[in-house]
Chains A and B, each alone.
Chain A
Amino acid sequence: MGSFQSLPDDHQYRTLSQKTGFSLEQIAILHNRFKQLSQNEETLRRDDLKTIQDLESNPIRYQIIEAFFDRRNFQKDGVGSVEEIGFEEFLTVMSYFRAPAHRITEEQKEEMRRAKLRFLFNMHDTDNDGTITLEEYRHVVEELLSRSGALGRETAKGIADAAMLEVASISVGPMAPDEFYEGITFEQFLKILKGIEIETRMHIRFLNMDTTVLCKQHCV
């Protein structure tokens, strides 16, 4: 593992810490990991992420990898995707998985919730038109069931349709036969996932990571 000069990085870390809310130790650990994945280069590419062994068995790995390269997740009004990302973007995406601090106000909690749900929403809404259409939803369910073969693919359609119907009836209510429900908007998405406490469920414990062990496995 390469050594890094402490001073400039320290300053860098401080700004990053302010921006993303991570502590300095957490940033250091994540930086190590970033360097490990990108093989000590400055930027990370999709292929670097694809080399992670454990990710192979994950049914939604492509969506996860895409999320790292999606401009919407690290810029306010970004559109489209990039080919490579730097450490700052990596950290920004990771910051969506921070746990809420102990004492935060209701407003901050709500804001955090919205941000996390926005991340999820962006993962589903691949064409960035602001709604999750039926096709996109079907794709999501298909990916989830992608390990089940033919049975999964057929049933996925049914499940996605049922889910869509549910959202439509909850958000819009009774519809005339010729009205068309465009898709799930972000507000409706918030509503249907109200039951899941996203702010506490969507988090990773960052502090206890020991990447030196993994280095032996992944260092080529």
Chain B
Amino acid sequence: MELKMFILVLGLLVGSLMPLGGAASSPDTGTGHGGSHGNKNPGNGTTYSKKPFPVLSFDYEHVRLPFEISLWVLLASLMKLGFHLIPRVSSIVPESCLLIVVGLLVGGLIKMVGEDPPVLESKIFFFYLLPPIILDAGYFMPIRQFTENLGTILMFAVVGTLWNSFFVGGLLYGVCQLEGHKLAYVDLLSCLLFGSIISAVDPVAVLAVFEEIHINELLHILVFGESLLNDAVTVVLYHLFEEYSSVGSITFMDVFLGIVCFLVVSLGGIVVGAIYGILAAFTSRFTSHTRVIEPLFVFVYSYMAYLSAEVFHLSGIMALIACGAVMRPYVEANISHKSHTTIKYFLKMWSSVSDTLIFIFLGVSTVAGPHQWNWTFVVATVIFCLVARVLGVVGLTFVINKFRIVKLTSKDQFIIAYGGLRGAIAFSLVYLLNPKHFPMRNMFLTAIITVIFFTVFVQGMTIRPLVDLLAVKKKQETKRSINEEIHTQFLDHLLTGIEDICGHYGHHHWKDKLNRFNKKYVKKCLIAGERSKEPQLIAFYHKMEMKQAIELVESGGGAKLPSALPSTVSMQNIQPKKPSQDRALPQLSKAREEEIRKILRTNLQRTRQRLRSYNRHTLIADPYEDGWNEMLLKRKKMKELEKKMNNYLTVPAPPPDSPTITRARLASDPQAWGLKSVTESIPTIKVDLASPQSPESVNVVDEFSKKGSQPKEEEGGLTMKVPSPAKQRKDKTPDEEPQQRLMRCLSDPGPALVFVSPVLLCLTKVHSRQYAM
């Protein structure tokens, strides 16, 4: 049913694309005609024929470009939706294949109508479609694994690509010469150029396919890192051969300059990226008052890094990666949680749309582009590409394994070789060639498209069953636990220490030096406030805590608590039995308090707040509109949570007494609700209970004004108020009069629900005006 509706919408959309193409020409003639009419009466001077005032007019040219762009983006997004509605197909065929097929269909349709299908313009591709994907990859790159395997990745990227280019180029030249008259005009340099273009593994295609098969992180980072870093090699070879193919020969000097150029291109790109990254990090230090535009800095600085690198013909991809990787640790320490989420989602959204558009346009361009089919050339290309890749990987692995601790097995080698997919970058580079200098451009185009189709379809589709067949290790979805973090850090320090004792300035020594330099100088510059001094372990711990807090709140407490939060063991189980327990309440920085508080406030407060006026410049939490049913549901959940809460008590939970006795006990024992569990670092919950009241008198408003007068200090840690009426409310779940409920709802404060979350904190000052209607 859903599917049928979806296909209908899609049909309408595609249908609208075509007449618009036709309509594009008619308004032109219309206006031209009108213009000529007007000119027919020049002599009459001011007497123009009065036309009736146009109530409704059609002017498509006006909005043509943005309209068509939006239409394409919409088509791409709807396609993406569609694939996930068809479950069976999406599990067999990777998305990229389906998108190319769609592109072929759309291109075919457009051609049938008689229009010229749009081709994937290189400029659009390199300036608008490629950067989001690369930025997304660079920003979220796992730095630790990348640097651990950097040597291997560089070997594959540089040496592997060089090998591929020369092997394919050289052999193709041989084939062309052997073939005879039809291909004899293809000279060596053109072949080498072609070889260099086609041998680069494409990051877009690799990402698209590998994301769906979930292989282990080592292989993923190897193939993906290779696809990113070979950009520099491709750029240099491309320019080298392009420049000199018109001249016809290359000397040793040119080769030497080429090597120098390679170093300049790659290192230059990285330096440019790093500079922009540092600028972005520095800027983010001052954004604490204008949180709304924080994500914008990340995007704009990265894009500028890309464009600046392109100005000098440096490697834009490497600049983008360097920018993202450099700025990330500092920016994340500075920006708010919401901005972080925004950046993540915008990057994912843009890269997803880009990726879809690229594949669709590849399909359309296939239908559109000028083709010149030559059996020998194309088949030879495909075969040589495969052979070159396999030989290259095997040979390089043999050398690399001598230096690696974790050797690459033959299964790994197979996946690396098989995962060398080609994609749109190669296509665009060929498209950029000047037909005058390269008369065989169309043949190249055809060959490239064939190779791309082959790798994406055949290799893309079969890699998933092969991975399962070979039982390649898959990605482990485990969350990083606090124990692992502690021991990883311990191990790092231990290894550095042992290296120092050995007198060996090794890998760990330099890493440690870099970390210390980072902490001492760089972090102070680039991170605002006291977070610059926060050691990594504490930062990790706080992040984990916050994540748990949000998870818990979002799950409403009714569902199972996140697994990292041990719900079955409490502090009393591990504290050695001592009569007087020292309950240290560690200090928490105000900024951190404020942030956590804000998160909980926005999620937990279920009050009927007066709607504040919406201001574009401030982000205020949406007031949460409650229904009566939800209210009841929440009370039920609160009850369940209370049961779980008992685990966190350091004092054994009281047996389920009557409400009055329980209340009395709670009132008398101020420590009863002390939640000394996981969250001791986030200083909390010293609970002062309000005086117990009889269940009937629910004078909630008075309650709060009373509490509001009690003095609170921020430094002493956060205190939490547990209003006893909350407990009463739970007991009275089923049989409450609507009127009482109404009163309570209207002045129902957040804290009543806050206390339920074992993770903590609350508003120290109860602002009665916040809760009054």
Contact mask for chain B residues 471-503; partner A; CB cutoff 8 A; 1 contact, 0 none: 000001010111110111111011111111111
Interface contact A159-B541, CB-CB below 8 Å: yes
16 more A-B residue pairs beyond the given contacts A58-B493, A140-B486, A158-B680, with a C-beta to C-beta distance below 8 A? A33-B502, A52-B501, A140-B490, A144-B489, A148-B533, A148-B535, A157-B680, A162-B541, A163-B482, A165-B574, A165-B677, A180-B576, A193-B483, A201-B491, A204-B504, A218-B503
Does A112 sit within 8 A of B, measured CB to CB?
Answer: no
Stretch at the interface among A15-23, A59-67, A77-85: A59-67
Does A28 sit within 8 A of B, measured CB to CB?
Answer: no
Does B572 sit within 8 A of A, measured CB to CB?
Answer: yes
Which of A144, A158, A172, A200: most chain B Cβ within 10 A?
Answer: A158
Interface contact B484-A196, CB-CB below 8 Å: yes
Interface contact A161-B495, CB-CB below 8 Å: no
With A54-B500, A155-B586 already in contact, the answer to whether A167 and B537 are too (CB < 8 A) is no
Stretch at the interface among B342-350, B421-429, B562-570: B562-570
Distance in Å from the Cβ of A208 to the closest Cβ of chain B? 8
Q: Would you list which residues of chain B between 545 and 575 have a CB under 8 Å from chain A?
A: 564, 566-575
Interface contact A157-B537, CB-CB below 8 Å: no
Contact mask for chain B residues 676-690; partner A; CB cutoff 8 A; 1 contact, 0 none: 011111100000000
Distance in Å from the Cβ of B502 to the closest Cβ of chain A? 6
Distance in Å from the Cβ of B622 to the closest Cβ of chain A? 32
Does A2 sit within 8 A of B, measured CB to CB?
Answer: no
Distance in Å from the Cβ of A146 to the closest Cβ of chain B? 10
Option from A52, A148, A174, A179 in Cβ contact (under 8 Å) with B538: A148
B486 partner residues in chain A, CB cutoff 8 A: 140-141, 144, 159, 163
Interface contact A163-B493, CB-CB below 8 Å: no
Interface contact A204-B498, CB-CB below 8 Å: yes
Interface contact B497-A64, CB-CB below 8 Å: yes
Interface contact A181-B504, CB-CB below 8 Å: no
In the complex formed, the residue of B with least CB distance to A176 is B573
Which of B508, B516, B566: most chain A Cβ within 10 A?
Answer: B566
Q: Which 5 A-B pairs have the closest CB atoms?
A: A158-B681, A154-B586, A169-B566, A174-B568, A158-B680
With A55-B500, A60-B493 already in contact, the answer to whether A159 and B538 are too (CB < 8 A) is yes
Distance in Å from the Cβ of B289 to the closest Cβ of chain A? 25
Does B51 sit within 8 A of A, measured CB to CB?
Answer: no
Distance in Å from the Cβ of B245 to the closest Cβ of chain A? 44
Interface contact A162-B538, CB-CB below 8 Å: no
Distance in Å from the Cβ of B624 to the closest Cβ of chain A? 30
Q: Which A residues fall within an 8 A CB radius of B?
A: 30, 33, 36-37, 49, 52, 54-55, 57-61, 64, 68, 94, 97, 99-100, 102, 120, 123, 133-135, 140-141, 144-145, 147-148, 150-152, 154-155, 157-159, 161-169, 172-175, 177-181, 192-193, 195-197, 200-206, 208-209, 211, 214, 218
Distance in Å from the Cβ of B402 to the closest Cβ of chain A? 10
Interface contact A58-B482, CB-CB below 8 Å: no
Option from B480, B483, B504 in Cβ contact (under 8 Å) with A167: B483
B586 partner residues in chain A, CB cutoff 8 A: 151, 154-155, 157-158
In the complex formed, the residue of A with least CB distance to B676 is A161
- How many angstroms between the C-alpha atoms of A181 and B497 in the bound complex? 32
Distance in Å from the Cβ of A30 to the closest Cβ of chain B? 7
29 contacts between A and B (CB under 8 A): A52-B501, A58-B497, A61-B497, A123-B494, A144-B493, A145-B535, A150-B587, A151-B533, A154-B586, A155-B681, A157-B584, A162-B680, A165-B566, A165-B569, A165-B677, A169-B568, A169-B569, A175-B568, A175-B570, A178-B572, A178-B652, A180-B573, A181-B573, A195-B478, A195-B480, A195-B484, A202-B495, A203-B405, A204-B495
Distance in Å from the Cβ of B157 to the closest Cβ of chain A? 23
Distance in Å from the Cβ of B360 to the closest Cβ of chain A? 41
Distance in Å from the Cβ of A116 to the closest Cβ of chain B? 10
- How many angstroms between the C-alpha atoms of A30 and B504 in the bound complex? 10
A157 partner residues in chain B, CB cutoff 8 A: 584, 586, 680-681
- How many angstroms between the C-alpha atoms of A140 and B509 in the bound complex? 21
Q: Which B residues fall within an 8 A CB radius of A?
A: 405-407, 476, 478, 480-484, 486-491, 493-504, 506-509, 512, 516, 533-535, 537-538, 541, 564, 566-577, 584, 586-587, 652-653, 677-682
Option from A49, A144, A209 in Cβ contact (under 8 Å) with B504: A209
A181 partner residues in chain B, CB cutoff 8 A: 569, 573-574
Which of B496, B502, B564, B572: most chain A Cβ within 10 A?
Answer: B502
Option from A147, A162, A195, A209 in Cβ contact (under 8 Å) with B535: A147
- How many angstroms between the C-alpha atoms of A144 and B405 in the bound complex? 27
Distance in Å from the Cβ of A15 to the closest Cβ of chain B? 21
Interface contact B577-A162, CB-CB below 8 Å: no
Interface contact A145-B537, CB-CB below 8 Å: yes
With A192-B483, A193-B487 already in contact, the answer to whether A168 and B478 are too (CB < 8 A) is no
Which of A58, A61, A141, A163: most chain B Cβ within 10 A?
Answer: A163
Distance in Å from the Cβ of B570 to the closest Cβ of chain A? 7
Interface contact B569-A175, CB-CB below 8 Å: yes
In the complex formed, the residue of B with least CB distance to A159 is B541
A193 partner residues in chain B, CB cutoff 8 A: 483-484, 487
B509 partner residues in chain A, CB cutoff 8 A: 54
- How many angstroms between the C-alpha atoms of A131 and B682 in the bound complex? 28
Interface contact B566-A102, CB-CB below 8 Å: no
B575 partner residues in chain A, CB cutoff 8 A: 134
Interface contact B538-A155, CB-CB below 8 Å: yes
In the complex formed, the residue of B with least CB distance to A100 is B405
Option from B480, B516, B566 in Cβ contact (under 8 Å) with A57: B516
- How many angstroms between the C-alpha atoms of A197 and B567 in the bound complex? 28
- How many angstroms between the C-alpha atoms of A57 and B516 in the bound complex? 9
Interface contact B493-A166, CB-CB below 8 Å: no
A36 partner residues in chain B, CB cutoff 8 A: 503
Interface contact B491-A166, CB-CB below 8 Å: no
- How many angstroms between the C-alpha atoms of A119 and B569 in the bound complex? 28
Interface contact B494-A60, CB-CB below 8 Å: yes
B682 partner residues in chain A, CB cutoff 8 A: 158
In the complex formed, the residue of B with least CB distance to A184 is B483
Interface contact B573-A175, CB-CB below 8 Å: yes
- How many angstroms between the C-alpha atoms of A195 and B491 in the bound complex? 14
B571 partner residues in chain A, CB cutoff 8 A: 161, 165
Distance in Å from the Cβ of A45 to the closest Cβ of chain B? 13
Interface contact B573-A179, CB-CB below 8 Å: yes
A152 partner residues in chain B, CB cutoff 8 A: 535, 538
Interface contact A64-B494, CB-CB below 8 Å: yes
Interface contact A60-B535, CB-CB below 8 Å: no
Interface contact B503-A159, CB-CB below 8 Å: no
B573 partner residues in chain A, CB cutoff 8 A: 168, 175, 177, 179-181
B680 partner residues in chain A, CB cutoff 8 A: 157-158, 161-162
Interface contact B501-A159, CB-CB below 8 Å: no
- How many angstroms between the C-alpha atoms of A100 and B407 in the bound complex? 11
Interface contact B487-A162, CB-CB below 8 Å: no
In the complex formed, the residue of A with least CB distance to B499 is A204
- How many angstroms between the C-alpha atoms of A154 and B542 in the bound complex? 13
Distance in Å from the Cβ of A194 to the closest Cβ of chain B? 9
Option from A159, A168, A200, A211 in Cβ contact (under 8 Å) with B482: A159
With A60-B490, A200-B406, A209-B504 already in contact, the answer to whether A144 and B483 are too (CB < 8 A) is no
A168 partner residues in chain B, CB cutoff 8 A: 566, 569, 573-574
- How many angstroms between the C-alpha atoms of A201 and B516 in the bound complex? 21
Interface contact A94-B502, CB-CB below 8 Å: yes
